[in-house]
Amino acid sequence: MREFIVKIKPLTPIWTGDENRECKTLRETGMLGSLRWWYEALVRGLGGSACDSTSDNRCPDKDGNHCDVCELFGCMGWARKFRLEIESINLAVIPKNLKIKIGTRKKRVIRKREKYLIREVEGLMADGDIILKFMPLREISQNEWALLNKILQIIADYSALGAKTSQGSGVIKIAENNLPYKDENPKKSELKGKGNKINSPNLANFFFYKFHIKFKKGISNLIDKEVFWTHQSDHYGFIDNWENWKKLWSDYHFLPIAFHIRDAIRQVEDDKNKRHEIFGELGKGSKIFVSHCYKVDDTTVEVRVWGYDVEKSIKHKIKKELENKLKEKLFSKEEYKESLESCTLTEEKTGKEILGVVR
């Protein structure tokens, strides 16, 4: 069987398990779910049809009358046009051996009792490459390859792959891509627009930001001094594991502060209901996505913030206020605030700009 490969390298842990299940290995179904989600958003942005494959709005399983996404990814009466296999070596499972926990800022009511919850940094890092093998089972059109290449590019350049991408996981780098038609732009005219469709998420309504967070001292030094916030002072029984913070930074070059950045961004919207709509509950159903921070140099990390269907005023506030809000949320003590040198927007793109490139 012919196979085409994409070699990727995780910059922050990849999560392909279900929301509540453990992720000990990279699962093809989780990876396909994420690829499909981005493919749907791109197809909608180009004016094609994309059903919601996870609800009753999925395409009907007869007559070949399915949407442009089911055409490649399959549905009940129509098989996926390719098989995906994942090959990886030396996967390091987080949190199993590198547990890092961040408490919630507020207590939540669980079975009528108020208590703080634990948020865990989870997923898999790899010492070597992770290889995604695409094996065509039927003919994949030139345009479908072009669409696949386009979403891989959006994922690698501006967003993330897999699940839990609203809580830091899934930033990747593409080390090699030998899928065909890499230089082709997807064509709107090739999309048939049949089957069921829902309108969101649509790439045309996305924004993508990258910030550089610069500290005055080396990041390993700050971890040694335990400057980062991990839990409230009355969160009894909470145990820090700074050795693991150190190991993640020295071995895998990332700083697990997506929850801090998320907490900082939450502060830009005062209205509680609106906040709920944009951020979801504990990351579920969120329209804003935040990555963990990966290394630029010894004192600087990069973070990705992206999302869709978010009001202009909120996007504006994220850009303007993130530095100040981050000072409030990143550190365990007032005196550590000055360790932050700056938080600067280094790149911004709209989904429309990304679509504009594709004519």
Binding marks (x or -) toward Zn ion, 186..215, rule CB under 5 A? ---------x--------------------
Residue 304 is classified by DSSP as E
Count of residues that interact with Zn ion, criterion CB under 5 A = 6
Q: How far is the CB of 253 from Zn ion (least distance, A)?
A: 39
Q: Which of 8/70 has CB closer to Zn ion?
A: 70
Report the distance separating Cα 257 and Cα 189, nearest Å. 43
Residue type, 351: G
Interacting stretch for Zn ion, rule CB under 5 A, among 12-20, 54-62, 177-185, 330-338?
54-62
Q: How far is the CB of 165 from Zn ion (least distance, A)?
A: 22
* Main-chain dihedrals φ then ψ at residue 49, nearest 5 degrees: -105, 140
Q: How far is the CB of 284 from Zn ion (least distance, A)?
A: 23
Interacting stretch for Zn ion, rule CB under 5 A, among 64-72, 214-222, 271-279, 347-355?
64-72
Of positions 51, 163, 268, 322, contacts Zn ion by CB under 5 A? 51
Which structure tokens are listed for 35?
Answer: 């690829």
Beta carbons of 319 and 345 less than 8 angstroms apart: yes
Interacting stretch for Zn ion, rule CB under 5 A, among 61-69, 89-97, 131-139, 293-301?
61-69
Q: How far is the CB of 65 from Zn ion (least distance, A)?
A: 9
Q: How far is the CB of 50 from Zn ion (least distance, A)?
A: 7
Report the distance separating Cα 293 and Cα 252, nearest Å. 11
Q: Which of 149/196 has CB closer to Zn ion?
A: 196
| Pairing label, strands 206-215, 91-94 | unpaired
Which structure tokens are listed for 286?
Answer: 């969120």
Angstrom CA distances, 26 to 22, 80, 84, stand at: 11, 20, 12
Binding marks (x or -) toward Zn ion, 68..87, rule CB under 5 A? --x-----------------
Interacting stretch for Zn ion, rule CB under 5 A, among 65-73, 138-146, 304-312, 314-322?
65-73
Beta carbons of 151 and 39 less than 8 angstroms apart: yes
Q: Which of 78/145 has CB closer to Zn ion?
A: 78
Q: Is 146 exposed, middle or buried (0-12, 13-18, 19+ CB in 10 A)?
A: buried
67 binds Zn ion (CB under 5 A): yes
Phi/psi region, residue 107 (left: phi>0; alpha: psi -120 to 50; beta: rest), is: beta
Q: Which of 59/264 has CB closer to Zn ion?
A: 59
* Main-chain dihedrals φ then ψ at residue 161, nearest 5 degrees: -120, 145
Report the distance separating Cα 18 and Cα 53, nearest Å. 16
Q: How far is the CB of 27 from Zn ion (least distance, A)?
A: 22
Interacting stretch for Zn ion, rule CB under 5 A, among 67-75, 156-164, 252-260, 331-339?
67-75
Q: Which of 73/229 has CB closer to Zn ion?
A: 73
Interacting stretch for Zn ion, rule CB under 5 A, among 52-60, 200-208, 301-309, 324-332?
52-60
Taking residue 301's Cβ as centre, other Cβ atoms within 10 Å add up to 22
Q: How far is the CB of 74 from Zn ion (least distance, A)?
A: 9
Q: How far is the CB of 59 from Zn ion (least distance, A)?
A: 3
Q: Which of 151/222 has CB closer to Zn ion?
A: 151
Q: How far is the CB of 209 from Zn ion (least distance, A)?
A: 31
Q: Which of 61/251 has CB closer to Zn ion?
A: 61
Report the distance separating Cα 169 and Cα 162, nearest Å. 8
Beta carbons of 193 and 49 less than 8 angstroms apart: yes
Question: Which candidate, 50, 22, 89, 66, places its Cα nearest to that of 30?
Answer: 22
Place of tokens 């030998």: 178
Tally: H helices and E strands in the chain: 9, 16
Which positions lie near Zn ion, rule CB under 5 A? 51, 59, 66-67, 70, 195
